Structure 1
Amino acid sequence: MSARHWAVIGLMITALSWAGNALIARASAGMLPPIGLSFWRWSVALVLLLPFTLRGLWQYRRLLLDNGLRIAVLAALSISSYNTLLYQAAQSTSAINLTLVGTGLPVSAFFWSMLLLRQVPARATVGGTLLGLCGLLLILTGGQPARLLALHFNDGDLIMLAAVLSWGLYTVLLQRWVMPAPGLVLMAAMLLCGVPLLAPFFLWELAQLGPMPVTWPAAGAVGYTAVFASLVAYVAWNHGVKVLGPSTASLFSYLVPAFTALLGVALLGEQLYWYHLAGGALTFLGLLVATRWR
C-alpha cells in the first residue's frame, strides 16, 4: 500500500483510540483528578517508550537540541495542554457538548493553516468537512436537529474550545516545523519536555484534591490512555499530518463520535439506532471525498 493508505489507516486507529479515551474521560469524571490522570498517563507512556528510544535520542541529539524550543512548544500544546484541558472540561460539561465543541478541530486547523502556512483548504477538503459534520450532527442529535436549540454551554465548553485551538495549532506546527527524526524518537523528546511542563500543575492539584485513588479502574484508565490514546495515537497522528497535511488529517477527528457510539454498543450494551449508521456513513463518505477526490 502507498504512504497515503498507511496514513489513512493510522488516522483511523487514532480516532478509535481517542474514542476509548472519550469513554474513559466521561466515566472518570468526578472520580479521577483530571490533571493527575493526564500526568500519570504521560509519565507511564514515557517510561514505556524510553527503553526503545534512548539510542535514537542519542543519535539525533544534535537535531533535537537545535530544535529544542520547537519541541517544547509542540509538547506544551499537545501533551501538557490538550488532554489536560479535555479532562478538565469533562468535569463540568456534558459528553454531547464536548463532542460538539470538538467538531471545531478541522476549523481550527483550517484557521491556523491559512494564518501560518498560507494554505487555503482544497474544495475536496471543504466538501469532505461538510459531509463529515452533517454525519456527526446526525449522531449527536439522534436524528432530531431541534435538539441543538436546547443545548446550553458553560465554562467547561470554553475550556474545550481552548483545547481545540491548542490541538489545531499543534497539528499545523507539525507541518511547518518538519524535523527529520523517527516518529518514536520525536515522541520521546516531546514527552521529555511535556511531562516536566505538566508537573507544576499536577503538584498544585495534588495539594488541592489529594492523590489519585489506587484502584484497578484507575490503573486501567492510566494504562489504556498511556498505551493507546498516547503512544499509538500520537505517532499515527503525527505521521498522518506529515503525509496528508493538517487540514485533511484533522477531518479524522469526526470519526471519534462514530467510534464512541460503536464502542458504547459493544462494551456498554447501548442501543444502536438508524442515525448512528447513517451518521457514520456520511462521516466515512466525507473522509473518502477529502482523501481520494482529485
Structure 2
Amino acid sequence: MRSIWNSAWSLLALANLFWAGNIVLARGLAGRVPPVTLAYLRWTGAFLVAIGFAWPLLRRDLPVILRHWKMMLLLSATGIASYNTMSYIGLTSTSALNALLLQSATPLVIIVWAYLLFREVPSLRQAAGVLLSLCGVAAIAAHGSLQVLAHLQLNRGDLWVIGGLAIYGIYCVMLRRRPKVHPLSFLVAAMGIGSCMMLPFMLMELAAGATIHGGATSWLGIAYTAVMPSLVAYLLFNRGVELIGAGPAGQSMHLMPLFGSILAVIFLHENLQRFHLLGIAMIAAGILLASFRREQSSVQRNVIAPTRSSS
C-alpha cells in the first residue's frame, strides 16, 4: 500500500476510474435522483463515513484549518460544492459520453488558471502532451470519424458541465495553497464545509417538489457516489497533486473518457472497436509526453513544494 500511496500515476488512475464510474452512474440516476440532492447526499454521506476514523487527525489539525478559513471556503466551494452540483445538473440533459469528453478540457483549464493566477507558462512538451491526449479523446468520441466529430453539438447540459470544469480548475490550481495538514483532515473538512454550502440549495430543490425515485437501486447509487468518487477518489487525487503538481495531475483527467469507454463495454455491452484502441494509445502517449520528468516545467516545480503535507 505504501508503494501505491507514493506512486502518483497509480493514485491518479484509480481516482479517474472512480470518477468515470460516477459520471456513468449519475447519468443513469438522472430523473430518479434530483441533481442538487444527489450532490448533497454524496458529500454528506462521504463526510459521515470519514469523520469517525478521521476525527483524531482532524482534531489535531483543526487550529491550522481555522487559521486558513478563507482558503478552506474557496477550495470547498470550487472543488466540492459548485463543480459536482453543476456536473449533476448538466447530466440531466446531456449524455454521459458528452460529459466524459468534456472532462478532457480540464488540463487546458488548469493551464489557463495557472497562468492567470500565478503567471506560470507550461513547457512545450506539456502543451504537446495535452494536445495529443485531446486528439485521442476526440477519436473515441467521434468513433474514428471526422464526420461524427463535426456534428457533435453542445447543449444546455454541456454548458453546465463546462461551467463546473472551469470552477474545478481553480480548485486544482489553488490546492498548492491549502493548509499544511494531513490530506484526510483537509478532505473531511472540505467535505463538511461543502455540504453546508449545498444544504440551502438542496432544500430549495425539495421544496420545489423534487423527490427520489427508484427505490433501493437509487440509494445504492447514492452510496457509491458517497464513497468511491468522493472520499476515496479525492483523497487519491489530492495526494497525486501533492506528489507531481497540478499540471500533470490535471493531465490525468484524460483517463476519464478512456475508463468511461471501458465501463460502457463491460456494463452496457458495447463493442470495443479499433477507434477505441487508437484513442487509448493517443491518450496514453499524451500523458507520458506531458509528464516526462527530465523536462519538468516550472509549473510542476512550483506546485509540488507548497502542497506537501506537514504530517
TM-score, normalised relative to structure 2: 0.90
Query: Which whole-Å deviations, capped at 9, do the CAs of 1:49-91 have from their partners, x for residues lacking one?
Result: 0011111121112101101111111011111111110110011
Q: What's the counterpart of residue 281 of structure 1? A: 281
- Report the Cα offset of residue 292 of structure 1: 2.5
Question: Which residue number corresponds to residue 180 of structure 1?
Answer: 180
Question: Does the Cα contact within 8 Å between 2:24 and 2:96 map onto a contact in 1?
Answer: no
Residue 112 to residue 229, structure 1, CA distance change in 2 (3 Å): same
Aligned match of 1:6: 7
Give yes or no for the alignment of 1:256 onto 2:256.
yes
Alignment-derived partner of residue 163 in structure 1? 164
User: Identity over the aligned pairs, expressed in percent?
Assistant: 34
- Structure 2 unmatched runs, 5+: 295-311
Match of 2:297?
none
Whole-angstrom CA distance in 1 between matches of 2:208 and 2:80:
22
**25-34 vs 161-170, greater mean Cα deviation:** 25-34
Within-5 A mapping of 1:1-294: 6-175=7-176, 177-213=177-213, 215-294=215-294
Corresponding residue SS for 1:205: helix
Closer/same/farther in 2, CA of residues 230 and 264 from structure 1, 3 Å limit = same
Per-residue deviation at 1:139? 0.3
- Displacement of 1:151 in angstroms is 2.3
Does the 8 Å CA contact 1:4/1:243 hold for their aligned counterparts? no
Gaps of 5+ in 1: none
Contact 1:33 1:209 in 2 (8 A): no
Counterpart of 1:284, as a letter, is A
Rounded Cα–Cα distance in structure 2 between residues aligned with 1:191 and 1:138: 36
Question: Which amino acid in the other structure matches residue 255 of structure 1?
Answer: L
Superposed displacement of residue 3, structure 1: 8.8
Count residues in correspondence. Answer: 293
CA distance in 1, matches of 2:94, 2:61: 43
Q: Deviations over 1:250-279 (max 9, x none)?
A: 111111011011111122211111111110
Tell me which amino acid in the other structure corresponds to 1:13.
Answer: L
CA drift of 1:102 comes to 2.5
Counterpart of 1:200 in structure 2: which amino acid?
Answer: P
Give the Cα–Cα distance (whole angstroms) in 1 for the partners of residues 259 and 54 of structure 2. 31
Of the structure 1 ranges 98-107 and 138-147, higher mean CA displacement relative to structure 2 is found in 98-107
Q: TM-score, normalised by structure 1?
A: 0.95
